[in-house]
Amino acid sequence: MKRRLMMKTALAALAAVSFGTAVHAADFSERSLKFGVQNPKGHPAEIGAQKFAELIAEKSGGKIKVRVFAGGVLGGDQQTVSALQGGTIEMTALNSGILASHVKEMAIYDFPFLFGNAQEVDAVVDGPFGQSLHKKLEEKGIVGLGYWDLGFRNITNGVRPINKVEDIAGLKLRVIPNPINLDWVKALGANPVPLAWPEVYTALEQKAIDGQENPVTVIHANRFNEVQKHLALTNHVYNPQSMIISKKVWDTFSADEKKAFQDAAAEAIAHQRKVSREQASTAIEALKKAGMQVTELPPEEVAKLREKMKPVLAAHAAAVGQETVDAINAELAKLRK
């Protein structure tokens, strides 16, 4: 009798849990969302998007499905953001500085030699500073869910090895289309060529441009070793990536759906950063094995590079807003104590 009573109690508890789960799952609407990324399958950005898709499906009881479109098939970054604002593409992750055309303060993330390491980046973007910039996006029809890792940018080219700053002069380099990138390339005596990401490989292959600059994971994942001979580890800019969703879509979510998206984003961000940094540690060796010649600027050349960037930083501080520059520098100063 006692055993029968215990079994009934256990079954009743299990039924209550199952009922609660079913009710909670029923709070979610059936949805299908598109998540576009510029890099190909296997790159940390695509892996992060796939991880998010798994997590949100799990948290919504399978009701919310996210389809990942890699390799820029939905269009370049600016095109994707416009579609996102209109609600025809729901999600993307892209270099945060690209969003400066919508919120001028986002250009701070393209400032050369701003961050010293990834730990500084995480502390700044996950803290009040990074959150405040994402908050500014909302009036532009964009909701920021957090920041991914892309890594420090380095220069590749098909003309000559870069052993000193002067070797950069004269090269035609593709840059992300925004003013600070145009200006720092000009400051080094090179010729900036703004191009949408899906066009870059072909432009390199056809020698319409000499080179480009990106983190080593991007260089490796996009097989730039096939069309570029030289890689210089300049580490001149660190790009956090903004994981964003259309505000038009976000505003249709229930409170439970928003919470699920925020939780899934936080877990996906942690996973994506781990994968990105692990891949960065192996990508250089993989590129060497694939035939790229890798050089690293000596400290005195890095010092020269920083010096040439100073007028660019001074000029763009006013454009971004001195208040924003002071705020991020204050955060970094606290971290470096």
Residue 204, domain member (yes or no): yes
In a domain? residue 2: no
- Domain extent, residue 143, equals 31-336
Does the residue 25 lie in any domain? Answer: no
Q: Model's pTM, two decimal places?
A: 0.88
Flag whether 8 is in a domain.
no
Average pLDDT over residues 245-273: 98
pLDDT (average), residues 284-289: 97
* Residue 70 lies inside a defined structural domain of this protein: yes
3 part of a folded domain? no
* 229 domain-assigned: yes
DSSP 150-219: EEE-EEEESS---SSGGGGTT-EEEE-SSHHHHHHHHHTT-EEEE--GGGHHHHHHTTSSSEEEE-HHHH
For residue 67, the model assigns a pLDDT of: 98
pLDDT of residue 17: 44
Which CATH number belongs to the domain containing residue 191 in this structure? Answer: 3.40.190.170
pLDDT > 70? residue 94: yes
Using the predicted structure, report yes or no on whether residue 292 has a pLDDT greater than 80. yes
Residue at 26 is within a domain: no
Percent of the chain at pLDDT above 70? 92
- The total domain count for the chain is 1
pLDDT at position 178: 84
CA 47, CA 273: separation in Å to the nearest integer?
Answer: 10
* CA angle, residues 18, 52, 213, in degrees to nearest 5: 175
Arithmetic mean of pLDDT, 197-206: 96
pLDDT for residue 25: 46
More confident residue, 12 or 302: 302
Taking only the tens place, the pLDDT of each residue in 37-66 is 999 999 999 999 999 999 999 999 999 999
Segment among 91-95, 113-117, 176-180, 311-315 with least mean pLDDT: 176-180
* pLDDT tens by residue, 122-169: 999 999 999 999 999 999 999 999 999 999 999 999 999 999 999 999
Pick the residue with more confidence: 11 or 154? 154
The values of phi and psi at residue 195, to 5°, are: -140, 145
How much of the chain exceeds pLDDT 90, in percent?
Answer: 89
Give me the DSSP letters along 23-64. Answer: HHHHTSPPEEEEEE-SS-TTSHHHHHHHHHHHHHHHHTTT-E
Mean pLDDT in the chain? 92
For residue 6, name the pLDDT band (cuts at 50, 70, 90): very low
**Which contacts of 327-333 are long-range, i.e. CB under 8 A and separated by 24 or more positions?**
327/129, 328/108, 328/114, 328/124, 328/129, 331/123, 331/124, 331/127, 331/129, 332/114, 332/115, 332/116, 332/120, 332/124
Q: For residue range 156-200, what is the model confidence (pLDDT) as tens digits?
A: 999 999 999 999 999 999 998 889 999 999 999 999 999 999 999
- The pLDDT assigned to 187 comes to 96
Q: What is the pLDDT of residue 135?
A: 98
Of 275, 320, 308, residue with least CA distance to 97:
320
